[in-house]
A and B are shown apart, each in its own frame.
Chain A
Amino acid sequence: GNSVTQMEGPVTLSEEAFLTINCTYTATGYPSLFWYVQYPGEGLQLLLKATKADDKGSNKGFEATYRKETTSFHLEKGSVQVSDSAVYFCALSDPSSNTGKLIFGQGTTLQVKP
């Protein structure tokens, strides 16, 4: 079945460090891919998305490229800030149905220290 696997956390970085959070997926067909972020005490917010192979999604300094050949959608940021501390979820839109339901990874906690 369709699934998403993220690297385990927590990931702890110093401010201004480079961030990579790995995400790989299994899907039949061609899913859309998403990164959501959950700040402490808040709901899930869409961070970025990509709808087809080789698309790059970007927002707030974060980027991810849809790699069909490696079935990956890794999240990157060149210089993290303390305010980026949150839980990050990779997700795909199930291509095997037209419901649009999302399948999420287990989440990766990012802690950025000053």
Chain B
Amino acid sequence: DTGVSQDPRHKITKRGQNVTFRCDPISEHNRLYWYRQTLGQGPEFLTYFQNEAQLEKSRLLSDRFSAERPKGSFSTLEIQRTEQGDSAMYLCASRDRYYEQYFGPGTRLTVT
């Protein structure tokens, strides 16, 4: 069990650019979640997958955001035409059969 990993750990981009983040969950976990955390706040739910199916998306996830989980393994979160308001920590978590979510270290996005 190597834990949940995320790549990159930090991303600085200019407004208007596209960015993509990757999450590798714990291998036997079939549920995967994305959250966003801004400074001084708790994480907020963005979307989740059961295997390869994306089953729920938050209203926070505008049409500039898209997430995939091909083959039910790793997942990617893409933000198109980034805005300064997208600056945040993006967290990925996977869930075990005891309903416990294990979080990755996060990707910190800074949009300049």
Contact = CB atoms under 8 A, between A and B. Distances in A.
Contact of B43 (A45, A93, A102): A102
A101 B33 contact: yes
Interface stretch (A11-19, A62-70, A75-83, A104-112): A104-112
Given A43-B91, A43-B103, A49-B100, A101 B48 contact: yes
Contacts of A44: 43, 91, 93, 103
Contact of B95 (A51, A89, A97, A100): A100
A32 B99 contact: yes
A36 B104 CA distance: 13
Interface in A21-62: 32, 36, 42-46, 49, 51
B42 A89 contact: yes
Nearest to B100: A46
A103 interface: yes
Contact of A107 (B41, B45, B100, B102): B41
Interface residues on A, range: 20 to 34
Interface residues on B, range: 20 to 34
Nearest to A109: B40
Contacts, number: 55
A107 B48 contact: no
Contacts of A46: 100-102
A107 B42 contact: yes
Contacts of B4: 43
A73 B100 CA distance: 17
Contact of B55 (A4, A32, A99): A99
A42 B105 contact: yes
A100 B106 contact: no
